[in-house]
Amino acid sequence: MEPRRKGILLIVGAALLWSTGGIGIKAIADSALKVTFYRSLFAAVALMLFLGRGVWARRQWKSTTAFIIAIISYGGCLTSFVIATKWTTAANAIFLQYAGVVWVLLFSPLVVREPMRTRDAVAITVAFSGMALFFVGRFEAHGMAGNAMALLSSVFFASLILVLRREQRAAQAAVTWGNVVCALAVLPFVAHDLALTPRSFAVLAFLGIFQIAIAYVLFVRGLAFVTATQASLTGMLEPVSNPVWVFLFLGEKPSVFAIAGALVVLAAIAGHTLAGEPAMDLPAPD
């Protein structure tokens, strides 16, 4: 399979797994920090099992500035998004987090030396227009603190994409240790109440293993073959997929606006993908 196409398919898989996060977080009553702790704990264990000795290799985990930034960005993205989802609507949290796509577009020329093309800006503008349609009637003004956390999450999200794109050899290790650091940082705040109901355990195990660990393995591998802008644009399948899960598990039918918005976003992604040039041929992460 052509490398760029393989990379896009891997990121599509990651986005679909990420999209289960909102409904999972909303499905349990546990606090945001408790969800963050257990989700990162399960993810860290799963990643260490999936990646094996590669996580411990010296050439991957040496303390470079970029590696440290990746860990901080990863932990910040996870924590702020969970808090945002608890404090505001899932739609608000996801929509505002994906403002990070704009940061990626703006800073790619500086951080990863990927030029900003007109087609990149057009595709992202069209995609955001589709997302605006997608959330008509759902995007609510209340929960401003949650909205602010979601915007903060967008900054961490963009920083993570850019640094993982730049530091391919350390990407998988950065994600793994990002979960470890995130869990340890949150532990003091939840240590007084670590009990879980069977329902919470099942949901958090799913979120950690599938929605985080497997998703990020796919994302990191896919990021080796596409530009940061293409990766972040393809990742917009995440908010598009959310109402599908809501429909399947909660029976909530998407509105006509949501369907129209989803089609616009998909068209923007497809158009950019078909028109794009292959990214620089980098080796896949070990």
Reading the chain (286 residues) residue by residue, the pLDDT tens digits are 688 888 889 999 999 998 888 788 878 889 988 999 999 999 999 998 887 765 655 455 445 777 888 889 988 988 888 888 788 776 677 777 777 777 887 888 888 787 777 777 887 888 778 777 766 655 555 567 887 888 899 899 889 888 888 777 677 788 888 899 999 999 999 999 999 999 999 999 999 999 999 998 898 888 888 887 788 778 878 877 877 776 777 666 666 776 787 778 778 777 776 666 544 433 333 3
pLDDT at position 1: 67
What is d(CA 231, CA 104) in angstroms, rounded to the nearest whole number? 10
The domain ranges of the chain are 3-275
Q: Does the predicted model carry a pTM greater than 0.85?
A: no
pLDDT at position 57: 52
**How many angstroms separate the Cα of 260 from the Cα of each of 108, 136, 147, 237?**
30, 11, 24, 14
Element (H, E) at 116: none
What is d(CA 147, CA 63) in angstroms, rounded to the nearest whole number? 33
DSSP state at residue 142 = -
Q: Which of 236, 167, 250, 182 shows the shortest CA–CA distance to 212?
A: 182
One-letter amino acid for residue 178 of the chain = G
All residues at 6 or more sequence positions from 187 whose CB lies less than 8 Å from its CB, including other chains: 37
N- to C-terminal Cα separation, the chain? 19
Instruction: Quote the Cα angle for 132-85-98, to 5°.
Output: 40
Q: Are residues 216 and 175 in contact, defined by beta-carbon separation less than 8 angstroms?
A: yes
Q: Are residues 23 and 250 in contact, defined by beta-carbon separation less than 8 angstroms?
A: yes
- Residue owning tokens 């996801």: 94
What is d(CA 285, CA 89) in angstroms, rounded to the nearest whole number? 35
pLDDT at position 138: 56
What is d(CA 169, CA 106) in angstroms, rounded to the nearest whole number? 24
Q: Which of 86, 63, 82 shows the shortest CA–CA distance to 186?
A: 82
